[in-house]
Structure 1
Amino acid sequence: MKLRSVLVSTLGVAALAQFASPVGAVSLINENFDTVSTGFKSASSSVGSFFTVDSGNVEVIGPGFADFYPGNGNYVDLNGIASGTLTSSIFNLNAGSTLSFDFAKNLDGGTFVPIANIFFGGTQIGSVNGGDSFSTFNYVFNTAASGELVISSGNTGPYGVVIDNVNLATAVPEPSEIPGMLLFAGGAFMLRRKYLAKKAK
């Protein structure tokens, strides 16, 4: 009989766990830098709608201005005259949230391989080495997190990783599933309550 009690309790917990499972997403950052004027951006400058140059300086590159990757609109070299850092405002993320961005390198650096480091909430979540063509960085937050998104150059000099198409999305449960989940959890609770009442007689 104890097994049945444990099973009913487990069903309730499972329902609540399912309730917390993220199956949708809300975009928090969606930045391609195409509306940003090309050129060097110094500390405290805004770069697009979501980022500020936190330290050093960066270079916005695009059509008509040192465009290494035609057809991609504008993109940002994390090393302007020297290494720079882009920082977002503070965001609260649920487990299952995602981050992605495209990255390559400033081709004027020749064979030099630049580095960029990625942080969220003060914790490093990745790093990339810039190549001769765009690749994509992807990261999934397995637990809830809160803080700023920081993308920082990891090398000195004027040639850095270039980034584009930054997307940060927080996971949310599907609203249409919530009533069913609550009903399932409530049913499990009532079964266990009925069992305990019967046992007490």
Structure 2
Amino acid sequence: MRIRILVVDDHELIRTGLRLRLQGEDGFEVVGEAADAASACAMIGEKSPDIVVMDIGLPEQDGLAATRTIKTRWPKTRVLALTGMKPGTVARATLLAGVDGLVFKSEASDYLVRAVRTVMAGKVYFSPEAATALAPTLREPPPPMPATGEGKIDLSARERSVLKGLAEGLSYKELAAELGLSVKSIDTYRARLVKKLGCSSRAALVRCAVRLGLVSL
């Protein structure tokens, strides 16, 4: 059975390179290309690909937000994320968005084909650079958090919603739209969370969210 692939990247040259690399493999078929999230979703409905090779840094709606949409509307469709961003919390945010794998673009020529086959076998795949970026935040224990009452963290429902969204990799703008708040309000809530939880970085906020059961790995 052939693996049907949709390539999504806003740079035509990169899309062409990915298409040529993938369609040259036995059992692979590139059924379409898209330059943005909206076009990608429309093409998924039309072409029914098995897997979407998704650039994270798309214009307007980024690849992580697009992944959440895809996983909601087409839960059987696999998503393999690509990124040229610097390693860091991007690996954790990508995982929390629901992708099935992550490959840094600098490694795509070596690991892209293996990643597609691994993901289509029902496993999660991280290229060496992605795995290295993710490992520290997985190993590092959550920072100690102040407790109130019966050992519970004193967070309001809104603060929990903001923490969950930040941990899932939403931008301030996306989170503000989802919660019906201003970007300035999101920044204010984040400052409150940093003070209450002792989490100064986004990676630390992710670990706190995992500990509180707001997100899972």
Sort the TM-score into its range (normalised by shorter chain). Answer: under 0.3
Answer 1 or 2: which has greater helix percent: 2
Larger gyration radius, structure 1 or structure 2: 1
Answer 1 or 2: which has greater strand percent: 1
